[in-house]
Chain A
């Protein structure tokens, strides 16, 4: 079946602009996660959803970052007033339920000029 998909695959934006990153989880997966991967680094947790609720958003770096999930499916990560330090790969993962294996999408590569 289809895996986790993310769009766009690449995004170049100017400093100060807002961006929206989309994640389509595996069908039937109730949990959805966002991670950020800076160049040459490991993944850093941002937020996770169980259904449409976000029990843990402790990893969001600032109030410029927000995320929502609708219909227990698609999620959007929004970064407002982007800064150059926001440049990274943003990875989404989903799992069948809590504490189940997390399956990752290919990521969105964001470059802020």
Chain B
């Protein structure tokens, strides 16, 4: 099935560092979403973006809906150990209910 191109696939960082990941698509999406998944759990919504150019923050997390509607990025500032997990972007077309997911970015933090 169609997936978004998410990068990087994995990141190994030191505690306290900032993190940036992004997703690109050949399709225009109406909504961009960022989820986090921890082992043995389902994805949990972090940030939802609904307008091109929108920049939204949730604590140390900041995400933007690209102006072309074909990309989005997620930044995590001052990473802490509980940020460890797999981060997924997801796009949703106008009028569609299903989400299209990226392949995920696995974040590992060295204390």
Contact = CB atoms under 8 A, between A and B. Distances in A.
A18 interface: no
Interface residues of B, number: 24
Given A42-B102, A45-B99, A98-B97, A106 B41 contact: yes
Contacts of B104: 40-42
Interface residues of A, number: 27
Nearest to B103: A42
A59 B2 CA distance: 10
Contact of B43 (A43, A44, A50): A43
Given A42-B102, A104-B43, A106-B42, A31 B97 contact: yes
A56 B42 contact: no
Interface of A: 4, 31, 33, 35, 40-45, 48, 50, 55-56, 58-59, 91, 93, 98-99, 101-107
Interface of B: 1, 3-4, 6, 35, 40-45, 48, 88, 90, 92, 96-104
